Structures are given as C-alpha cells and as structure tokens.
Amino acid sequence: MTHLDTELQQLKDNLIEMWTLVKNQLSKAQEALFNNDKDLAREVVSLEKRVNAFELGIDQDCENIFALFNPVAVDLRLVLAIIKINNNLERQGDSAKGVAKFVIEFDGPFDKHLLDITRITEMFTENITMLDELTEAFEKEDGVIARKTFKRDELLDEINDHTTAVVAEYIRKNLENTEQALQILSIIRKLERSGDHSKNIAEEIIFYTEAKVLKHKGKDKK
C-alpha cells in the first residue's frame, strides 16, 4: 500500500465516522421530538460541534492530499467526491440540530395526531435509511445502491408537497395548536432538504465509482 493509499483510507474512515455521527443525530432528534425529551434534544445540539470539527478536519485532509500527492483518475474523483459529501453531511447535521432546537424551545409535547397526519415518522425513517444505504454504497463503491436514494427522495418531496394543505386544515380545526403546527411544518421542510443532501451524496458516489456526472442532468433536458 502506497502512502497515498494510506491517506485515502484514513480519509474514508474519517468520513464514515462523521456519517455515523450525523445519522445518530437524526435518530436522536426524532426520538426527542416524539418523546418531548429536551435533554436528548440538547445532546443533539451539542453533537453539532463534533460534526463541524469533522467537516473542517476532512476538508483540511483533502487539501493536504491535493498538495502532497496530486491525485489523478479514480483517486482524484474520490477526493473531489469526499469534499462534497462532507459538506452535505454537515448540512444534514444542521437539519438535525434545527429539529432539536424546536423541541427545546416548544413548551410541551407535540400533538401525536399532528405528527401522524404530516407523515413525519415516514420522513425520518426515509432519511435515516438513505444515510444507511449511502454509507453502504460508498464503502462498497456501488452506484446501484446509491441510486436507491433517488426514489426515496421522490417520496420525501411528495410528502413535503402535501404538507402545507394538511397543516392548514389542521390549524383551521385546532387554532390553539397553531404554533406547534407551524413548527412541524418547518421540521418537514428541514427533513425534505436533508433528503436533497442525500441525493447530492448519491450523485457524488456515482461520480466517484462510475465517472458519471448526474448533477443538473434533468435541468439540461428542460
């Protein structure tokens, strides 16, 4: 194994560790929301500092690899992909922190019926599954697994698109719960954006493993 191979493996290991941390943040944010667990929500917020530290460290490691080894071909694609995956993971950590802050700031538990009709459990589940599948796709260098993310992201978009009408109807019938309904709407938006970041990660994995650029492909056809 060359010195470059060793550095790339360490880089990948650090990214996977960050990946796991972000997935745990999202899982804990869901648990905090459904159980009104403010202490757990504070833990999620606190963990964001570790995610940020990972992002800065991984960016620095990528810069060092460029400077010292001048990677080419698949090694170059790997480092370029990691830079973008790193950024998207950090933003997903931000989304988890945002959910946790809503739990901390809201006085009391959220209405279970509201959580059910907005399909927020489904959104959390899809987001966490996406992160699991993408980790596997990255480790196995498998673009087929990465492509599962696109279908899951479509489901998140569908739920998000219907949420405004669902929440509006809920507010008409439950004016006293307007504040929490609007907060749930904001959480839905964060989870939808988290799905977008997973889609971006999938595109980077396919770029790395197959040398195919998918970003903006759909826009070019319009």
pLDDT of 139 strictly over 70: yes
Confidence of residue 220 (pLDDT cuts 50, 70, 90): very low
- Give me the domains of the chain, ranges plus CATH numbers: 3-214 (1.20.58.220)
What letter would DSSP give residue 216? Answer: T
Model confidence, pTM: 0.93
**Per-residue pLDDT reduced to its tens digit, 34-67:** 999 999 999 999 999 999 999 999 999 999 999 9
pLDDT at 213 over 80: no
Phi-psi group of 108: left, alpha or beta (phi > 0 → left; psi -120 to 50 → alpha; rest → beta): left
Look at phi and psi of residue 213 and say left if phi exceeds 0, alpha if psi is from -120 to 50, else beta: beta
pLDDT (tens digit per residue) in 83-133: 999 999 999 999 999 999 999 999 889 999 999 999 999 999 999 999 999
